[in-house]
């Protein structure tokens, strides 16, 4: 029997669906107003590398109860999130420049740098649309062996500097039933996110003097629901007189993210059994 | 139909289309203005309903720490000490210090909260969670960005921590509603940790030295109070995600 199978769940009658990850048991549970599903595979030994549960739309791939022991593979996907878009322009400069447009262009350069480094890149938006926070997180949560990078331009701060943020400490990850709510999907990844963030910030400070030496923490909404090592990169700032000043920073930022991801790769070994979390 | 009638019908249609093209933007502006006015009047009503902050001149004058930006280009906070008559009641005291914080420092560039933002209400739950309800302007006028939004929330949390020991966590509402983010970045779903120190009986406020320069407690007066930067920039408060 194959060590995994695809399961199609018809959730048309579910008004509100919550998705949980069951830590350490190779499980994925979907709970809705009219249904509760849970599928399990044998629990993994403590210290087993991180596994991201793949979800894609209404398709959920779960481990077989008869599955073979986990095989390891490496980090190979970077989900890039150009923030804002559509009716949400983000920060706006006096010259009419918009954060949503600049980060989209920046994402193209970051993508190129990452692909040259050997990563597969998935963008949360390709044009001027504005997916919800959850939709953006879902793109990352549907990947296995991915990291998530959300790109921002600030309204404040010393121009020419770049800060990396990881999510602030969150409360206990598991509820009484051992499930991890979607609302706190980032919790098990905070340590990995911090390591990834520090590596990228370390690369950035070499190029952009005045930037912090290590990643900062903040309650970034986008990161909270992301079940992967996740960072926010924020460039200062939108108040520059000429957009070209920000465009000139793009290659350096792209290179730093690519080199940071490459440096982080050995730290993030991903098992091939979906469902478990670090 | 005769050519003359055809001409009149076409001319009439062109006239109607032109009229609509001119009138439609005016109509749209009027609808927008009406919606804005309605929103403003709702907020005005909330402000009127909110308890007025009573300032008792007999209250002891207290050295109050307010957290504003250390530098216009920096995202760190620095405490500034102001002498204010503060109430002992934690809710009233919270309102007084937050209103002074909203009034801003002498140097407007160092302010952390928008000048048009208003504290509509403040509640304190028995578990020490302070609920601060701000007007819409806090979300719409704060500079968009992770750093600026974090600094805004942090200045509120640190100011409460320094002056109202009963407040242990901070929940921010916008116009009476729970908001997903402050201005597109900072997560407002959870409560922010104000202090992790064990709960203690409220300490007696420190009475300022006799004859000290009188500093009114209301927002506009804060700018005239004596401001004294006293120590290094503060650290950012961490949010709490407890269910």
Decide if A45 is inside a domain: yes
Same domain, A148 and A229: yes
Residue B49 lies in a domain: no
For residue A175, pLDDT over 80 is answered with no
Specify the residue for token string 């959730």. Answer: A11
Domain assignment of residue B161, yes or no: yes
Would residue B14 count as lying in a domain? Answer: no
The SS3 assignment for A264 reads helix
Q: Is A188 on the interface with B (CB under 8 A)?
A: no
Same domain, A102 and A67: no
Question: Using one digit for the tens of pLDDT, what is the confidence trace for A230-252?
Answer: 999 999 988 887 888 899 999 99
Domain count, chain A: 2
CB A151 within 8 A of CB A113: no
Q: Which residue has the higher pLDDT, A7 or A88?
A: A88
Residues 206-235 of A with CB under 8 A from B: 216-222, 224, 232, 234
Query: Does pLDDT of A15 surpass 70?
Result: no
In this prediction, the residues of chain B whose per-residue pLDDT falls under 50 are 51, 202-243
**When comparing pLDDT for B150 and A25, which is higher?**
B150
Confidence of residue A61 (pLDDT cuts 50, 70, 90): very low
Non-local CB neighbours of A205 within 8 Å, separated by 6+ positions: A211, A212, A213
**A23 is a domain residue:** yes
Q: Using 50, 70 and 90 to split pLDDT, how confident is the model at A7?
A: low
Residues of B with CB below 8 A from A91's CB? 143-145
pLDDT(A37) > 50: no
> Considering CB atoms only, which of B147, B153, B192 is closest to A157?
B147
Q: Give one word for B123, left, alpha or beta, with left for phi > 0 and alpha for psi -120 to 50.
A: beta
The pLDDT of A174-191, averaged and rounded, is 81
Q: Determine how β-strand B177-178 pairs with β-strand A179-181.
A: unpaired
Give the Cβ contact number of residue B140 at 10 Å. 13
> Could you tell me how many CB contacts below 8 A there are between chain A and chain B?
93
Contact A203, A252 (CB under 8 A): no
* Residue ranges of A 121-140 with Cβ closer than 8 A to chain B: 133
Domain that holds residue B217: 61-240
Q: Quick one: closest CA in A to B145, which residue? A: A154
User: How high is the pLDDT of residue B124?
Assistant: 97
- Give mean pLDDT, residues A213-229: 96
- Residue that is written with structure tokens 């599955």 in the block: A67
Residues of A numbered 158-177 whose beta carbons fall under 8 angstroms of chain B's beta carbons: which are they?
A: 158, 163, 165, 168-172, 175
pLDDT at A217 over 80: yes
Question: What count of Cα atoms within 13 Å lies in the side-chain half-sphere of residue B74?
Answer: 11
Place of tokens 């800060």: A163
∠ CA A173-A179-A185 to the nearest 5 degrees? 50
Angle between helical axes of A243-264 and A190-207 (0-180°, round to 10): 130
User: A224: domain range?
Assistant: 74-269
- Residue A163 near residue A174 (C-beta atoms within 8 A): no
Specify if B47 maps to a domain: no
> What DSSP assignment string belongs to A10-26?
--TT-SSEEEEEETTTT
**A141 and A209 both lie in a single domain:** yes
Q: Are residues A199 and A262 in the same domain?
A: yes
Instruction: Judge: A220–B146 Cβ closer than 8 Å, yes or no.
Output: yes
Asked, for residue A163, whether it belongs to a domain, the answer is yes
Separation of alpha carbons A16 and B163, rounded Å:
42
Q: A103 and A40 in one domain? A: no
Pair (A68, A78) in one structural domain: no
pLDDT at B242: 38
The pLDDT, as a whole number, for residue B41 is: 60
Crossing angle of the two packed helices A99-116 and A243-264, in degrees rounded to 10: 40
Domain boundary residue, one of A48, A72, A96: A72
Q: Are B137 and B120 in contact (CB under 8 A)?
A: no
- What whole-number distance in Å separates Cα of residue B138 and Cα of residue B115? 9
Asked if residue B79 lies in contact with residue B229, where contact means CB atoms within 8 angstroms, the answer is yes
Question: Cβ separation of B147 and A99 shorter than 8 Å?
Answer: no
Distance from C-alpha of A274 to C-alpha of A253, rounded to nearest angstrom: 32
Say if residue A88 is in the same domain as residue A105: yes
Least confident of A153-167, A264-278, B10-24, B153-167: A264-278
DSSP secondary structure string, B40-58? Answer: HHHHHHHHHHSPP----TT
Q: Given an 8 Å threshold on Cβ–Cβ distance, is A90 in contact with B144? A: yes
Contacts of B192 in chain A (CB under 8 A): 219
Evaluate whether residue B44 is within a structural domain: no
Contacts 24+ apart (CB under 8 A), B201-205: B202/B88, B202/B90, B202/B165, B202/B166, B203/B165, B205/B60, B205/B62, B205/B86, B205/B88
Check whether A193 has a pLDDT greater than 70. Answer: yes
Q: Are A89 and A64 within one domain?
A: no
Both A103 and A47 in a single domain?
no
Per the structure, the count of domains in chain B is: 1
Please indicate, yes or no, if residue A276 is contained in any of the structural domains.
no
Whether residues A251 and A119 share a domain: the answer is: yes
**Digit-coded pLDDT (tens) for B154-206:** 999 999 999 999 999 999 999 999 999 999 999 999 999 998 887 665 444 44
Encode A101-167 in three state secondary structure: HHHHHHHHHHHHHHHHCCCEEEECCCCCCCCCHHHHHHHHHCCCCEEEEEEEECCCCCCCCEEEEEE
Do the chains contact at B148 and A156, CB–CB below 8 Å? yes
State residue A57's pLDDT score.
Answer: 33
Distance from CA of A221 to the nearest CA of B (A): 4
Output the domain CATH number for residue A132. 3.40.630.40
A30 and A106, same structural domain? no
Distance CA A82, CA A108 (A): 9
CA-CA distances (angstroms) from residue B115 to B41, B99, B103, B118? 19, 11, 7, 8
B241 touches chain A (CB under 8 A): yes
Chain B stretch 61-90, residues whose beta carbon is closer than 8 A to a beta carbon of chain A: 73-75
Residues A248, A136: one domain?
yes
For the question of an ipTM over 0.85, the answer is no
Residue that is last in its domain, among A19, A38, A72: A72
Whether residue B144 and residue A218 make contact (CB cut-off 8 A), yes or no, is no
Mean pLDDT of all residues in A244-271: 92
3-state secondary structure of A33: coil
Task: Identify the weakest region by mean pLDDT among A36-40, A53-57, A93-97.
Answer: A36-40
Neighbours of B52 (CB within 10 A): 8
Looking at residue A70, its pLDDT comes to 42
Residue A152 contacts B where some CB pair is shorter than 8 Å: yes
Q: Which residues of B touch A238 (CB under 8 A)?
A: 145
Residue B184 sits at the chain A interface (C-beta within 8 Å): yes
Q: Given CB atoms, is B242 within the 8 Å cutoff of chain A?
A: yes
Is residue A63 within 8 Å of residue A41, measured between CB atoms?
yes
Task: With respect to residue A274, please indicate whether it lies within any of the assigned structural domains.
Answer: no
- Interface contact flag, B146 A218, Cβ < 8 Å: yes
Q: What percent of chain A has pLDDT over 90?
A: 53
């Amino acid at each position: 029997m194959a060590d995994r199978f695809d399961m199609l769940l018809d959730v048309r009658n579910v008004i509100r669906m919550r998705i949980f990850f069951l830590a350490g048991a190779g499980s994925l549970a979907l709970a809705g107003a009219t249904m509760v599903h849970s599928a399990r595979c044998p629990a993994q030994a403590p210290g087993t590398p991180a596994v991201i549960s793949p979800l894609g739309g209404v398709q959920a791939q779960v481990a077989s109860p008869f599955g073979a022991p986990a095989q390891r593979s490496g980090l190979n996907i970077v989900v890039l999130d150009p923030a804002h878009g559509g009716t949400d322009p983000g920060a706006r400069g006096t010259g009419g420049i918009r954060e949503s447009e600049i980060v989209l262009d920046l994402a193209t350069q970051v993508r190129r740098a990452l692909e040259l480094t050997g990563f597969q890149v998935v963008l949360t938006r390709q044009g001027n649309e504005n997916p919800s926070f959850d939709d953006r997180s879902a793109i990352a949560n549907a990947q296995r062996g991915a990291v998530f990078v959300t790109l921002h331009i600030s309204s404040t701060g010393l121009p020419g500097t770049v800060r990396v943020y990881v999510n602030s400490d969150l409360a206990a990850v598991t509820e009484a039933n051992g499930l991890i709510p979607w609302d706190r999907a980032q919790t098990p990844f905070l340590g990995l996110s911090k390591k990834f963030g520090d590596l990228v910030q370390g690369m950035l400070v070499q190029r952009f003097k005045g930037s912090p030496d290590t990643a900062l923490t903040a309650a970034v909404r986008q990161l909270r629901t992301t079940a992967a090592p996740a960072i926010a990169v924020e460039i200062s700032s939108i108040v520059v007189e000429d957009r070209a000043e920000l465009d000139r920073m793009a290659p350096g930022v792209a290179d730093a993210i690519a080199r940071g991801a490459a440096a982080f790769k050995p730290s993030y070994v991903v098992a091939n059994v979906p469902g478990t979390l670090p | 139909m005769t050519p003359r009638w055809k001409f009149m019908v076409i001319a009439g249609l062109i006239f109607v289309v032109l009229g609509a093209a001119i009138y439609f933007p005016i109509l749209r502006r009027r609808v927008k203005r009406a919606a804005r006015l309605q929103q403003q009047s709702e907020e005005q009503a909330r402000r009127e309903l909110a308890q007025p902050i009573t300032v008792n001149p007999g209250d002891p004058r207290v050295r109050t720490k307010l957290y504003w930006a250390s530098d216009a280009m920096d995202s760190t906070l620095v405490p500034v000490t102001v002498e204010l008559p503060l109430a002992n009641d934690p809710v009233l005291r919270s309102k007084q210090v937050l209103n002074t914080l909203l009034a801003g420092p002498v140097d407007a560039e160092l302010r952390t909260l928008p000048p048009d933002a208003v504290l509509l209400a403040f509640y304190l739950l028995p578990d020490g969670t302070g609920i601060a309800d701000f007007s819409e302007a806090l979300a719409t006028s704060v500079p968009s960005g992770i750093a600026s939004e974090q600094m805004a929330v942090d200045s509120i949390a640190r100011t409460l921590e320094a002056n109202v020991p009963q407040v242990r966590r901070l929940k921010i509402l916008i116009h009476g509603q729970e908001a997903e983010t402050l201005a597109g970045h900072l997560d407002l779903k959870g409560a922010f940790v104000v202090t992790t120190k064990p709960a203690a009986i409220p300490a007696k406020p420190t009475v300022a030295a006799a004859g000290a320069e009188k500093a009114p407690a209301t927002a506009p007066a804060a700018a005239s109070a004596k401001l004294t930067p006293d120590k290094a920039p503060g650290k950012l408060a961490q949010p709490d995600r407890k269910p």
